[in-house]
Amino acid sequence: MDKNTDTTEEISFDDFDEQINPKPEENDFDRILEIALTRRGLLKSVVAVGGVATLGSLATLAPGDAQAATTRFAFESIDANTLDDITVPQGYSAQVVTRWGDPLWSDGIDFDHATRGSAASQVTSFGDNIDGMEVFAHGDKTLMVVNNEYTNRKIIWGNREEGKYETNDDVLKGKMAHGLTVVEIAQSDSGEWAIVVDSPYNRRVTPDTVMQMTGPAAGHDLLKTSADPDGNTPLGTYNNCGNGSTPWGTYLACEENFNGYFSAADEAHKVSPELKRYGVSSKDWGYGWAKVDDRFDVSKEPNEPNRHGYVVEIDPRKPDAAPKKRSALGRFKHENAELVINHDGRVVVYMGDDERGEFLYRFVSNGVYAVGAETDSLLEDGKLYAAKFHDTGAGEWLELNPETSGLASMAEVCIHTRLAASTVGATTMDRPEWVAANPKAPEVYCALTNNKNRGIKPNAGGDLTPAVGPNPREKNLYGQVVRWRPNGGDHTSNGFAWDLFVMAGNPKIHSDAYAGSANVNEANMFNSPDGLKFDSNGMLWIQTDGNYTNAEEFEGHGNNQMLAGDPATGELRRFLVGPNECEVTGCTWSPDKRTMFIGIQHPGERGNSHWPEGGDAVPRSAVVAIKRDDGGLVG
Ligand code: FEO
Ligand code: CA
Ligand code: CA
Ligand code: CA
């Protein structure tokens, strides 16, 4: 193949979407309630939003209380830094478990720093850009499933001029670095975790793996392609961001920015308005998949993008089983899928659509979960909702169905979910990232990572984005975490009360709303909350994917990091700082809760890291195990 002449700069997914689908500035919409902009005033609004009567102790967050309360933290907060290393509190240690390019089988090919691998080495090795992850106990085995979200062109093709693919094998290497990696892991006698090479559970799930479509969209005309005239057998999963898991032992991989992989040989080709809403265009994100696989050419296979953007259920105990795309959970840029078993046994899944001004969703199963009973249909059959937040501190779930959306069928609702949510008037959010449910109380948290368009531009569907409610700051650089409590503690209730758990900010340089809420101070400040996970004690772990320049608006924030928060007091402590130019994402625990696993994604994405190997090594995404030096519990 000719050398790639694509001149697309490597920019964020959201900026790419805006380049291909520009939106007008909102100059004239009815703007916005003035929110209290003094820090004290802001704190009041943050605290009072949910209403003391409905949120009880949640609404009592106040400065000083955290220090007065008996702490539930087992560590002292660490300082921000810009080291090309992992920093954890005194009394803890971190160890790399596995990295991008490590072979899963003994006949695999070791990672080559000069070539950065080949398609053949990559397909039998750990994928790139580690994101969501989960550990499952299976008899005496420990199985780990990890998303390999995407790949950074300048890293994976860093052996090529300008970091662009030059050969078909380069393109295929990039493609095979996507998907998921399933591995058995085990501890050595000294306690170090490593992959069990050649385990029968080891598996790569790639953009070419045969899948099964389930739920309302299965077999619909919009899913039919020349290779799959029945519309039931899509190939592959990619751009899997966050994840979820089920009590029946399966993993939920969530397809996020699926649009950026499609292109058309004729760049003048126009896609349908429905595809445009999802950011599909005639130009891809620089991966070149259409050059080696016609199904990624939207002029040839206009329905192929409709087969991506779902939650995919995978059983790590069955390495030969086809993963199942669960269309009942809707199609959008899925961040993660937080699954809760309601008190009546129904399965509730909370999900964010991570794009500026997109929505928050909920699925409620019709069937109930019972240990040992059939579980295969639970995520195929149920109702889908989008969230509306009122400024009063109340909220409601709006059902998405043919009647409310005006779409022709439930299949279309599950395929064009964004259109349905726009029609019912769901609240445009500041990029909903991970959702996490507190195991100790009926309350749910969602990271709203940032949104520089808040109050400035509508979303991709033209829905306005006024700076109100849980998204109160115009040009929101820092992000916030919203939480809600379902009415009556019932996750299937259509009503809830909400408030903001934290507004990130920079109190070093701001004294208004951009300083952040009162539980943010110069010792724990951060930006762009993304990964969220509760541990079994009900402590909330927050991971960041933000600006790591440590300058100007972000002075003092250092590298991306991980914090822990106490839902009862609002106190936040910094637990970990990642190496240069990484995102910290993905979090799970060993079955005995003595190890926490986290992911370090794309260290050195702008060329300034050699982590984890140091020297002049190629930087590599990696899974990291964190333990207490005294062997105690970490979650
Ligand atoms: Fe892949 Fe929304 O982060
Ligand atoms: Ca994320
Ligand atoms: Ca993010
Ligand atoms: Ca990232």
pLDDT for 330-354, tens place per residue?
999 999 999 999 999 999 999 999 9
pLDDT for 9 equals 57
Residue ranges of domains in the chain: 6-628
527 in Cβ contact with 450 (< 8 Å): yes
Q: With 80 as the cut, is the pLDDT of residue 33 above it?
A: no
Averaged pLDDT for residues 304-315: 99
pLDDT band at 173 (very low <50, low <70, confident <90, very high): very high
pLDDT for 24 equals 59
List the shell of residues around ion ligand 2, using CB closer than 5 Å: 241, 433, 530
Q: With 50 as the cut, is the pLDDT of residue 64 above it?
A: no
Q: How far apart are CA 519 and CA 504, in angstroms?
A: 9
Which of the pair, 38 or 526, is modelled with greater confidence? 526
Averaged pLDDT for residues 172-196: 98
Q: With 80 as the cut, is the pLDDT of residue 520 above it?
A: yes
Least Cα distance to 516 among 25, 63, 22, 58 occurs for 63
Q: Give me ligand 4 centre to Cα 260, in Å.
A: 14
| Residue-averaged pLDDT of the chain | 92
Q: Spell out the residues 6+ positions from residue 403 whose beta carbon is closer than 8 angstroms to its own.
A: none
pLDDT for 147-170, tens place per residue?
999 999 999 999 998 899 999 999
Averaged pLDDT for residues 537-557: 98
Q: With 50 as the cut, is the pLDDT of residue 556 above it?
A: yes
619 in Cβ contact with 607 (< 8 Å): no
Q: With 60 as the cut, is the pLDDT of residue 404 above it?
A: yes
Closest-CA residue, ligand 1 atom 3, reads: 241
pLDDT for 581-628, tens place per residue?
999 999 999 999 999 999 999 999 999 999 999 999 999 999 999 999
Nearest ligand 1 atom to alpha carbon 150? 1
pLDDT for 213-239, tens place per residue?
999 999 999 999 999 999 999 999 999
Q: How far apart are CA 480 and CA 36, in angstroms?
A: 16
Q: Give me ligand 1 centre to Cα 106, in Å.
A: 33
**DSSP label at 33?**
P
Q: Mind giving me the DSSP string for 40-67? A: HHHHHHHHHTT-HHHHGGGGG--TTHHH
Q: With 70 as the cut, is the pLDDT of residue 43 above it?
A: no
pLDDT band at 268 (very low <50, low <70, confident <90, very high): very high
Q: With 50 as the cut, is the pLDDT of residue 491 above it?
A: yes
pLDDT for 25 equals 54
Q: With 60 as the cut, is the pLDDT of residue 41 above it?
A: no
- Residues lining ligand 1, CB < 6 A? 149, 241, 256, 335, 354, 433, 530
pLDDT for 46 equals 44
CA dihedral 204, 206, 208, 211 (to 10 degrees): 80
Q: Mind giving me the DSSP string for 79-112? A: PP---SS-B--TTEEEEEEEETT-BSSTTS----
Least Cα distance to 420 among 429, 408, 430, 431 occurs for 408
Q: With 60 as the cut, is the pLDDT of residue 60 above it?
A: no
**Identity of residue 23:** K
Q: Give me ligand 2 centre to Cα 540, in Å.
A: 16
pLDDT for 11 equals 79
Q: Give me ligand 4 centre to Cα 623, in Å.
A: 15
pLDDT for 455 equals 97
Give pTM, 2 decimals: 0.93
Q: Residue 612 has which token pair?
A: 């984890």
Q: Spell out the residues 6+ positions from residue 549 whose beta carbon is closer than 8 angstroms to its own.
A: none
Least Cα distance to 148 among 98, 186, 198, 185 occurs for 98
Closest-CA residue, ligand 1 atom 1, reads: 241
Q: What percent of the chain has pLDDT over 70?
A: 91
Domain covering 6-628, topology: Neuraminidase (2.120.10)
Averaged pLDDT for residues 268-272: 96
pLDDT band at 40 (very low <50, low <70, confident <90, very high): very low
Separate counts of helices (H) and strands (E) for the chain: 12, 27
